[in-house]
Amino acid sequence: MEKLKGDILKNECSRLWKTVFGDSDEFIASFIESHYNEKNMLYIEQNGKLFSMLHLIPFHLNGMCVAYIYAVATDSNARGKGYATTLMQQAIEKAEKDGYKAVITLPADKGLVGFYSRFGFKGLYSVTFDTPDNFDFGTGNADNDFVTILPLDNSFAVPTEKDKIILKKQA
């Protein structure tokens, strides 16, 4: 079976995003318009319906290229089947292959910290997202934005937990 692509994939991404996160159509459209990249979206689908997805967004941290795993979502009817685990493993492998120095993610709630730690993510670091369009890659409340990091390369200097991380996205 052929993989989803183009507008069909974008529409399925928007549908799943709305279902899982409940964000506004405007917010989702803003992401799709400015930050979506089909090559950096990993997903599981069946019969043209998206069940699980995540996005690898390139950022810079202290001059090093890092991959930010964003919008990890699984349809409520498909949870417990290991889809998010599979996608996380694929994302880490892709980030390594693509030469990123680290992978970073922002657990939407404290309960997800344990999920991400299973893959080797460590720490909780206060983060600011610096993007040309001021898109909010966080929770909507900067005081609650804490990321966890998985270094992929020995040259990546892991910050101390009291350091404020600034993730910069190029235009």
pTM of the model: 0.93
Domain boundaries of the chain, sorted by first residue:
6-168
Structure tokens at 129: 């997202």
Q: Which residues have a Cβ under 8 Å from the Cβ of 19 and sit 6 or more positions away? A: 75, 76
Structure tokens at 94: 């892709």
pLDDT in tens, 20-48: 999 999 999 999 999 999 999 999 998 88
Q: What percent of the chain has pLDDT over 90?
A: 83
Instruction: For residue 123, count CB atoms less than 10 angstroms from its CB and return exposed for 0-12, middle for 13-18, buried for 19 or more.
Output: middle
Q: Is the pLDDT of residue 95 over 80?
A: yes
Q: Which residues have a Cβ under 8 Å from the Cβ of 160 and sit 6 or more positions away? A: none
- Write out the CATH class of domain 6-168: alpha beta
Instruction: For residue 76, count CB atoms less than 10 angstroms from its CB and return exposed for 0-12, middle for 13-18, buried for 19 or more.
Output: exposed
